[in-house]
Amino acid sequence: MHLIITEKHDTAKRIAAILSDKKPAKERVNGVDVYKLDGKAVIGLSGHIVEVDFPKDYNNWQKTDLKELVHADVVMNPTHANIVTALRKLGKESEHLTIATDYDREGELIGVEALNLIKKVKPDIPADRVHYSTITPAEIKKAFSSPTKIDFNLAAAGESRQVIDLIWGAVLTRFVSLSSGRLGDKFLSVGRVQSPTLAIIVNREKEREAFVPVPYWELFANLANGGEFEAQHKKGRFLDKAEAEGILAKLGKTGTVKSIDLGKRNEKPPTPFNTTEFLRAASAIGVSAANAMRIAEYLYVNGFISYPRTDNTVYPQTLDTRSIIESFLNTEFRKYAEKLLSGNLTPTRGKKETTDHPPIHPATPVKRGDLKEDEWKIYELVVRRFFATFAGETQWETMAVIVDISGEEFGANGARLTEPGWRWYYSYNVPQDRILPKLREGQVLKVIDVNLIGKETQPPSRYGQGHLIKIMEDLGLGTKSTRHEIISKLYSRAYVHGNPLQPTKTAYAVIEALEKYASTITKPDMTSKLEIDMDEISEGKITEEYVIKESRDMLGEVFKDMSKNQELISESLRNGLYEDRIIGTCQKCSSDLIIRKSRKGSRFIGCSSYPKCDFTLPLPKSGQIIVTDKQCNDHGLYFIKIINKGKRPWDVGCPHCNFIEWQKKLEEEKKNGTVKKEDKTAKETKK
């Protein structure tokens, strides 16, 4: 029997169907679906079926010597016992093994993990590898017709990442959590990629807080020559209001067109999608990075788009782009495909060219009705971007006008789209035309009115997910496959909320303590160096063992610094975490109102002066509580959000206002006789 191993069950099912002349037979082996066809068996894993961990002796956080943990051995533990057993049973019966997992560092490691498990029962089994970028009949059959060797160096690079992340994460997370007294499910996670990323967000917020707005004024004139338009004083911003008011006072009722400058401006079409640019584009249309990758993975497994984890921005010559475009001639994208096919198909090229996978592109057409709304949104984005990379430049006609009003120059700029070019295909965030009326030099215009508008300079904006992923890429933080996961972890750990990302007080406490006493872990240099090392492992230049030892030694130095300052770190963390519990000021006694726990474990808002002051407000029974920086005008309390995994955040708002609303609702239900038993003791309501 020839055993074929894929990364996921859905991939196994689809590949089996492609390789079989008829519908493959499905069998259950130890509770796992296996597809049998023509002397072959195809089994799908569930990603990693083993994980790196420390021996059980190190499980107790409070009893483990963290210095010892830095250099402790690691073991491989099965995470899916049923799949492991099925693999061994099938492997024992097989004469040949083909690894058909995703072709990247992680996929290679997953395949090698499976191979090593099978070798324990059949040491001499011959094994090979197939590479593909789309799960389409043509590419899958081509891949299986020309298998290649397994890349053990690539797998070793993936394994080194797992080991390094385990050691750094375990040592630093335990140290910080123990120092702060935050254990159990509320522990404070620290990681070699997560922490520098969080530092970027926190430091951006500090820039915003330190920002001092500067007032300025802008002077606008509304002019008419039959059609109205607005022009701004050539100086732009006036920092001296008196100067602007002096100019305003002398302006007359007419102006004269001093000059007209007509021009053209072209916009080059975008480059092909790599993972980072895809996630940025998805974020721009309202899809979070994590959701975009989840949907892209689904579309890839079902053969609709190519592999979504790639750094490549150049279509390889082997990619039959004409055939892909032709495949859309009988779809709702027909007019776009026809127009492209009538011209010269020369795609744009990005700066990065790799050989593992092509840029993200559509693989096969699918009908809108066959996908969910969010799936179609991502699929359409990929299709339109692909088409746009073959399109011509967008062309604009521009017009710059200078008008003299009482010796003061006012300017206006117009632009009109004359040739949509690539924007016809990729119709996202298209700039609007700014049409000026027909004008001629020397023409006298009527000044309808003049407005002096006061404004303030604005602080630097917070980072959205797409922007943050680009920064992470530029700094060498994480990989194309992990950056969106890091951001998701920051949300799940209640380090950030909202989009753009806003750090919580907990995030401040952790980053400030680390920056002061272990700055290495908050800077990208160390983790970027390790990323380079892992690339060199995959190229066979250095060994996995060397990089792991180097990483342990680096961590050892960081741990020394932290140990010397443990009491200071503890004090810093505890003070910062206390601030994250403050909801506002008690109106009865002016003490802090904080999030507290009763003896029975339920949460409530209580006064820090208890028992002298017994003011309380109830809180929902479950979910993480996020204290925002928005305050209630009536009660002065900070608004809160409740985060429950897998659900949309619940914006509770002001806890006091919410409590009053709940009481009103309860009274109405009592009058109507519809009060529920749980409402007598609980405030939580479904929203």
Query: Do 559 and 629 fall into the same domain?
Result: no
Task: Tell whether the model's pLDDT for residue 339 goes beyond 70.
Answer: yes
- Give the model's pLDDT for residue 684: 41
Residue the block writes with tokens 């001092």: 212
- Give the model's pLDDT for residue 28: 94
Query: Do 6 and 128 fall into the same domain?
Result: yes
Strand pairing class (394-405; 408-419): antiparallel
Enclosing H/E stretch for 51: strand 50-53
Distance in angstroms (rounded) separating the CA atoms of residues 77 and 183 = 24
- Give the model's pLDDT for residue 674: 64
For the residues 234-250, what does the mean pLDDT come to?
96
The residue that leads in pLDDT, 448 or 517, is 448
Q: Give 122's strand partners.
A: none
Query: Do 127 and 263 fall into the same domain?
Result: no
* pLDDT tens profile 619-670: 888 888 888 888 898 888 989 888 877 777 888 899 999 888 888 888 887 7
- Give the model's pLDDT for residue 354: 82
Question: Does residue 241 contact residue 217 with C-beta atoms inside 8 Å?
Answer: yes
- Within a domain: residue 256? yes
**Can you read off the two tokens belonging to residue 93?**
């019966």
Distance set, CA 291 to CA 217, 285, 377, 502, 687 (Å) = 42, 12, 12, 19, 23
What's the domain range around 107? 2-45+80-150
- Within a domain: residue 63? no
Query: Do 9 and 140 fall into the same domain?
Result: yes
- Give the model's pLDDT for residue 367: 95
Distance set, CA 379 to CA 166, 334, 385 (Å) = 35, 16, 10
For Cα atoms 189, 485, 184, give the angle at the middle one, nearest 5 degrees.
25
What's the CATH code of the domain at 233?
2.70.20.10
Q: Give 625's strand partners.
A: 642
The residue that leads in pLDDT, 615 or 390, is 390
- Give the model's pLDDT for residue 437: 92
Residue 307 designated active-site: yes
E-only strand ranges, 206-359: 215-224, 228-233, 254-267
- Within a domain: residue 687? no
Distance in angstroms (rounded) separating the CA atoms of residues 171 and 160 = 17
Amino acid at 85: T
Smallest CA-to-CA distance from 574 within 180, 185, 188, 190 is with 180
Q: For the residues of 346-372, what is the DSSP string, one character each?
A: -----S---SSSPPB-B-S---GGGS-
For the residues 573-579, what does the mean pLDDT come to?
80
- Within a domain: residue 62? no
Whether the bond between 420 and the residue before it is cis, its omega within 30 degrees of 0, is no
- Within a domain: residue 58? no
Distance in angstroms (rounded) separating the CA atoms of residues 421 and 200 = 38
**Can you read off the two tokens belonging to residue 610?**
């208890």
Q: Give 595's strand partners.
A: 605
- Give the model's pLDDT for residue 686: 34
| Residue that is last in its domain, among 404, 438, 456 | 456
Distance in angstroms (rounded) separating the CA atoms of residues 560 and 675 = 59
For the residues 556-564, what does the mean pLDDT come to?
89
The residue that leads in pLDDT, 532 or 247, is 247
Give the count of alpha carbons within 13 A of 166, CB side only: 20
Query: Do 452 and 471 fall into the same domain?
Result: no
Query: Do 329 and 299 fall into the same domain?
Result: yes
- Give the model's pLDDT for residue 610: 87
Task: Tell whether the model's pLDDT for residue 265 goes beyond 90.
Answer: yes
Distance set, CA 290 to CA 152, 250, 336, 384, 532 (Å) = 29, 57, 30, 21, 25
Which residue in 103, 132, 300, 307 is the catalytic one? 307
For the residues 152-162, what does the mean pLDDT come to?
94
What's the CATH code of the domain at 377?
1.10.290.10
- Within a domain: residue 165? yes
Q: In what order do the strands lie in the sheet with 650-653?
A: 624-631, 638-643, 650-653
| Residue that is last in its domain, among 100, 130, 150 | 150
The residue that leads in pLDDT, 481 or 56, is 56
Query: Do 480 and 604 fall into the same domain?
Result: no
| Residue that is last in its domain, among 126, 150, 174 | 150
What's the CATH code of the domain at 173?
1.10.460.10
Distance in angstroms (rounded) separating the CA atoms of residues 495 and 421 = 43
- Give the model's pLDDT for residue 327: 96
**Can you read off the two tokens belonging to residue 591?**
């003490």
Q: Give 626's strand partners.
A: 641
Query: Do 291 and 363 fall into the same domain?
Result: yes
Query: Do 181 and 199 fall into the same domain?
Result: yes
The residue that leads in pLDDT, 218 or 603, is 218
| Range of weakest confidence among 24-33, 240-249, 573-582 | 573-582
Phi, psi (degrees; rounded to nearest 5) at 604 = -160, 165
- Give the model's pLDDT for residue 224: 94
Smallest CA-to-CA distance from 136 within 317, 361, 312, 316 is with 361
- Within a domain: residue 594? yes
Q: What percent of the chain is modeled with pLDDT above 70? A: 97
- Give the model's pLDDT for residue 414: 95
* pLDDT tens profile 383-410: 999 999 999 999 999 999 999 999 999 9
pLDDT band at 676 (very low <50, low <70, confident <90, very high): low
- Give the model's pLDDT for residue 682: 43
Query: Do 104 and 10 fall into the same domain?
Result: yes
The residue that leads in pLDDT, 668 or 172, is 172
Distance in angstroms (rounded) separating the CA atoms of residues 202 and 210 = 12
- Write the secondary structure of 126-152 as one string of H (helix), E (strand) and C (coil): CEEECCCCCCCHHHHHHHHHCCECCCH
* pLDDT tens profile 497-534: 888 999 988 899 899 988 988 888 899 988 888 888 98
Query: Do 494 and 550 fall into the same domain?
Result: yes
The residue that leads in pLDDT, 279 or 580, is 279
Q: Report the number of distinct structural domains present in the chain.
A: 5
- Within a domain: residue 98? yes
Give the count of alpha carbons within 13 A of 276, CB side only: 20
Task: Tell whether the model's pLDDT for residue 687 goes beyond 50.
Answer: no
Query: Do 301 and 404 fall into the same domain?
Result: no
* pLDDT tens profile 175-226: 999 988 877 667 888 888 999 999 999 999 999 999 999 999 999 999 998 7
Rounded to two decimals, the pTM is 0.86
* pLDDT tens profile 69-83: 999 999 999 999 999
pLDDT band at 672 (very low <50, low <70, confident <90, very high): confident
Letter string b/e over residues 610-637, b meaning 16 or more CB atoms within 10 A of that residue's CB: eeebeeebbbbeebbbbbbeeebeebeb
- Give the model's pLDDT for residue 353: 86
Averaged pLDDT of the chain: 91
